[in-house]
Amino acid sequence: MHDGTDDTRLSDAAAGGGATPSTVPPVLADLVRADERISFLYFEHCVVNQAENAIAITDDEGTIRVPVATLGVLMLGPGTTISHKAMATIGENGASVVWVGERGVRMYASGRPLTHSSRLLVRQARLVSNTRTRLAVARRMYQMRFPDEDVSSLAMQQLRGREGARVRKVYGHWSKETGVEWKRRDFDPDDYDTGSEINKALSAAHACLYGITHAVIVALGCSPGLGFVHTGHERSFVYDIADLYKAELSIPVAFRTTAAKPDDIGAATRKNMRDALYDLSIMKRMVSDITHLLMEEDGEADADESDELWLWDEKLGEVAAGTLYADAAEGDA
186 is known to lie in a ligand binding site: no
Dihedral angle, C-alpha 82, 275, 212, 264, nearest 10 °? -60
Contact 59, 13 (CB under 8 A): yes
Residue 252: phi, psi to the nearest 5? Answer: -65, -35
The Cβ of residue 117 has, within 10 Å, a number of other Cβ atoms equal to 17
Contact 205, 253 (CB under 8 A): yes
36 is known to lie in a ligand binding site: no
3-state DSSP of the chain:
CCCCCCCCCCCCCCCCCCCCCCCCCCCHHHCCCHHHCEEEEEECCCEEEEECCEEEEEECCEEEEECHHHEEEEEECCCCEECHHHHHHHHHCCCEEEEEECCEEEEEECCCCCCCCCHHHHHHHHHHCCHHHHHHHHHHHHHHHCCCCCCCCCCHHHHHHHHHHHHHHHHHHHHHHHCCCCCCCCCCCCCHHHCCHHHHHHHHHHHHHHHHHHHHHHHCCCCCCCCCCCCCCCCHHHHHHHCCCCCCCHHHHHHHHHHCCCCCHHHHHHHHHHHHHHHCCHHHHHHHHHHHHHHHHHCCCCCCCCCCCEEEECCCEEEECCCCCHHHHHHHC
3 is known to lie in a ligand binding site: no
Binding-site residues for Mn(2+) sit at: 163, 230, 243
Binding-site residues sit at: 163, 230, 243
